[in-house]
Amino acid sequence: MLSVGVQRAGVSLARSGVAACAARVALPAIRQMARGYATPKLQEVDFSKLEIQHCVPSVKKTKTPAKDLVFGRTFSDHMLELDWTSEDGWSHPHIHPFGNLSLSPSCTVFHYALECFEGMKAYKDKNGNVRLFRPDMNMRRLERSCERIALPSFNGDQLLECIKELVRTDKDWIPDQHGFSLYVRPTAIATQPTLGVGPSAAAKMFVICSPVGPYYKTGFAPVSLLADPKFVRAWPGGVGQYKVGGNYAPGINPQTEAANRGYNQNLWLFGNEHFVTEVGTMNFFVLWKNERGEKELITAPLDGTILPGVTRDSILQLCREWNEFTVSERPFTMKELVKAIKDDRVVEVFGAGTACIVSPVKNIGYEGTDYAIPLALGNAGELTQRLADTIMSIQYGEVEHPWSVVIDRAEPNAQKMAHAA
């Protein structure tokens, strides 16, 4: 029986009326995938078969002092790797010393962007326990991203157990200081060494880890945004709701242009109505008094163009639990936002994402005019600060919450030393 993804791929080709030459390229690959899925010997990701090869002491890396960490520049000693083929399924997962990948230059990932990834963090609490923040959401999103670009499916729960073991293996790379963490980057790529647009008969999953410091080292640094409708991040029917690499490369040039014009980042708009969508690589929130006079936190809905951020979902859930104002996921336009600014109805504006939790906005440039955004606390709004404090307290286990998952408990002696420090 074919998987849902293969069935959909076949139906899509059958209905789309693509040229015969394109069909000749794609259909054999689909049949090849179908044969693989139909074979009962296909292996699933299996944590029980995880193999671990530890670094020998002589090749272990020298850790960068916490104060000198730059996001994504330093990597821990080990990585997780596993391969998939349409004939055999997933190989045994393998944790081994961090190193370069060996790939054919003809691999489809290099030519057709068959690649997706996740971003999550591991934290060390005051007792030395290692924690992850809502990792199940990252796995579900990675599963959806793989399905969207015809990469193989996998058991997310089993992969997560492998990732936990990787983090435990490199837990000494998690800085002890509050605000620091270990950034964890799972990535899936197509590795079939063949030119031709179609599902890949080979894939690789790998996970690397990077110790990182606080996004804002000396308190919030509010950002300025350029809202220019000539650039579009995502569109209906596209891949805006998935973490695929193709979403990010096209944003680099607009970000450079925004910087050249004196802004920190882009506020992405869509359509003739200039609907507000996201900011840079983050979700976007506005706290205002709407035209009915109600205090409302608003963000764009998950309509297929918006990334379902883990931080986004956390903010919405927390604010609904607090029940202090209306919380809305609905479309709104830049013209509505400008009118609210002019009417003095905007309370604060911020972006939200894994790297920074929340990022306050101080002004937005739109159609030749800069619009100032209130910052009640000087460098952030009150809600922005409250959300940052609340989510961080959950991440570091200062508040007991089901979102914070302990994956490694420190020995009693280590807990005593952590308390003393």
Per-residue pLDDT of the chain (421 residues; tens, 9 = 90+): 333 333 333 333 333 433 333 333 444 444 455 444 444 578 999 999 999 999 998 888 999 998 899 999 999 999 999 999 999 999 999 999 999 999 999 999 999 999 999 999 999 999 999 999 999 999 999 999 999 999 999 999 999 999 999 999 999 999 999 999 999 999 999 999 999 999 999 999 999 999 999 988 778 999 999 999 999 999 999 999 999 999 999 999 999 999 999 999 999 999 999 999 999 999 999 999 999 999 999 999 999 999 999 999 999 999 999 999 999 999 999 999 999 999 999 999 999 999 999 999 999 999 999 999 999 999 999 999 999 999 999 999 999 999 999 999 998 765 555 555 5
Q: Which residues pair with 213 in a beta bridge?
A: none
What per-residue confidence (pLDDT) applies to 413? 61
Task: Give dist(CA 193, CA 112) in Å, integer.
Answer: 12
DSSP state, residue 120: E
What per-residue confidence (pLDDT) applies to 15? 35
What per-residue confidence (pLDDT) applies to 140? 98
Residue 421, amino acid? A
Q: Measured between alpha carbons, how far is residue 182 from residues 69, 103, 151, 172 in Å? A: 11, 27, 27, 10
- The total of other beta-carbon atoms located within 10 Å of residue 218's CB is 7
By the 8 A CB rule, do 51 and 92 touch? yes
What per-residue confidence (pLDDT) applies to 59? 85
Q: Are strands 282-289 and 275-279 parallel, antiparallel or unpaired?
A: antiparallel
- The total of other beta-carbon atoms located within 10 Å of residue 237's CB is 8
By the 8 A CB rule, do 254 and 228 touch? yes
Task: Give dist(CA 293, CA 282) in Å, integer.
Answer: 28
What per-residue confidence (pLDDT) applies to 58? 83
What fold does the segment set 41-212 form as a domain? D-amino Acid Aminotransferase; Chain A, domain 1 (3.30.470)
- The total of other beta-carbon atoms located within 10 Å of residue 371's CB is 18
Q: Which of 369, 364, 368, 386 is nearest to 377 (CA)?
A: 386
Task: Give dist(CA 166, CA 243) in Å, integer.
Answer: 22
Judge: domain 223-379, CATH 3.20.10.10: yes
By the 8 A CB rule, do 169 and 80 touch? no
Q: Which of 421, 407, 411, 397 is nearest to 169 (CA)?
A: 407
